[in-house]
Structure formats: C-alpha cells, structure tokens
C-alpha cells in the first residue's frame, strides 16, 4: 500500500506540472480564461491604439473549397464557407472574412498570381493595403504570473484560442474600448502582431 500511495503522489505532481509552471518569484503561473483575460486587460488599462501596416491577399472561396478545413496561425481550424473570402497574411496564414469587411479596412491595390501552401495550384489573389485611417485597439497580455491566455474570437465563440504570454488581444476601433463589448475581440500571436501591426504611441491613446 505504501508503494501505491507513493506512485499516486508522483503522478499527481506530474499532472500538476503539465498545466502550470513556476514563475521567477516562485509563484504558480496561470493560463487565463477568456473572462480572466478580459478582466486583466481592464485592470491593467492595457488597450493601446494600433494600425495594421502590411497587406493581405484575398480571393473568393471557390465552390470546390466549401467545407474544406484550413489551419490558422492560432493552430485552430476554420472551415471555408460559401460567400466568404479567403484572406492570407504576410506569414501565409489563412482566415476568412466577408468582402464587405475587407473593403471597410483595406484598399484594393492590384492582382497577383500566388500559390500558398493550401492552394493546389496558383490562384489570382487581390492585394489589399490597409486604409491609412483605420485603427484598432490592441492589448498585450503578459506578466510574471501569466503562462498564457485564452480568447473566444467573435467568429467562433465555442472554440477558444490560446496564446502564450506576450500575445495580443485585438478589437475594432471604438471611442472607449473599456466600455465596449468585451467579447468582440480576436487573437493575434506576438510574432505575427509585431510583424504586421504598428502601435501608435501617442498621448492619450488609452482612454
């Protein structure tokens, strides 16, 4: 019995070690839930103005692609739907938007023939450049007690996305992000954000 108790204790320690880690000051680092992430942003007044500075490639979803799964930059799966456009960022990451949403944030620049990793052959993409006057709110979530965090994106509330500490929660521009719907957000991993967005460090950029 003593041997069995020892094995159970070791197993419990190993299980705990898989979900948490110790921070530099010895405290347990947490993975924040969607609600905890929203609360952290509010408490730390973390929203900052930002703008996207890199182009996107986009084309209408083809009939033979409807229902096809695409792997996103967040290691999640999005399924192509009729009526949506396939968008691709500078890192080759795919996601889906309506054409109306694309044209609200981007200016059409030119056409290019491109073949990304998920394309069976080269396709004609429209290149869209970010509109100069379109801004976003972005909050970087990090701290010694944070291992990572989850966000439920507004396009799929049933499947939270995960980012290690340092990733960004992003939302459309509104007069006061602290009074806006806390669920109307999406996730951008740190390296992708820093290669495609620019923080606007001006006075009064955080309400």
Q: What is the pLDDT of residue 181?
A: 87
Confidence at 27, pLDDT banded by 50, 70, 90: low
Report the pLDDT averaged over residues 113-141.
96
How many domains does the structure of the chain reveal? Answer: 2
**What is the pTM for the complete model shown?**
0.79
Report the pLDDT averaged over residues 197-207.
76
Q: What is the pLDDT of residue 196?
A: 95
Confidence at 3, pLDDT banded by 50, 70, 90: very low
The pLDDT of residue 30 is above 50: yes
Contacts of 50 (CB under 8 A, 6+ apart): 135, 136, 137, 138, 170, 197, 198, 199, 200
Report the pLDDT averaged over residues 45-49.
97
Helix (H) or strand (E) holding 60, with range, is strand 56-60
In the predicted model, what is the mean pLDDT of the chain? 86
Residue 113, burial from CB neighbour count under 10 angstroms (0-12, 13-18, 19+): exposed
Residue 6 belongs to a domain: no
Q: What is the pLDDT of residue 207?
A: 78
Residue 47 has a CB neighbour count (10 Å cut-off) of 24
Contacts of 155 (CB under 8 A, 6+ apart): 96, 186
Residue 167 belongs to a domain: yes
Q: What is the pLDDT of residue 33?
A: 96
Q: What is the pLDDT of residue 12?
A: 36
Report the pLDDT averaged over residues 76-100.
93
Q: What is the pLDDT of residue 205?
A: 67
One domain, residues 45 and 140: yes
One domain, residues 85 and 182: no
Task: Quote the CA–CA distance of 28 and 161 in Å, as a whole number.
Answer: 22
The pLDDT of residue 21 is above 80: no
One domain, residues 112 and 138: no
One domain, residues 165 and 121: no
Whether the Cβ atoms of residue 29 and residue 144 lie closer than 8 Å to each other: yes
Phi–psi pair at 138, nearest 5 degrees: -135, 140
Report the pLDDT averaged over residues 56-68.
97
Q: Which residues constitute the domain of residue 45?
A: 26-50+134-199
Residue 80 belongs to a domain: yes
């Amino acid at each position: 019995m003593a041997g069995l108790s020892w094995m159970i204790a070791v197993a419990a320690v190993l299980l705990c070690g898989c979900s948490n880690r110790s921070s530099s000051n010895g405290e347990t680092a947490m993975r924040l839930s969607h609600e905890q992430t929203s609360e952290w942003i509010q408490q730390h007044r973390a929203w900052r103005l930002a703008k996207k500075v890199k182009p996107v490639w986009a084309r209408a979803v083809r009939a033979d692609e409807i229902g096809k799964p695409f792997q996103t930059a967040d290691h999640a799966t999005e399924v192509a739907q009729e009526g949506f456009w396939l968008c691709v960022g500078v890192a080759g990451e795919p996601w889906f938007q309506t054409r109306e949403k694309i044209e609200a944030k981007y200016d059409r620049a030119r056409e290019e023939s491109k073949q990304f990793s998920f394309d069976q052959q080269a396709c004609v993409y429209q290149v869209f450049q970010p509109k100069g006057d379109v801004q976003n709110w972005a909050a970087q979530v990090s701290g010694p007690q944070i291992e990572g965090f989850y966000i439920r994106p507004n396009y799929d509330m049933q499947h939270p996305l995960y980012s290690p500490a340092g990733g960004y929660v992003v939302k459309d521009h509104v007069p006061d992000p602290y009074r806006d719907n806390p669920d109307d957000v999406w996730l951008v991993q740190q390296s992708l954000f820093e290669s495609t967005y620019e923080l606007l460090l001006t006075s009064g950029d955080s309400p």
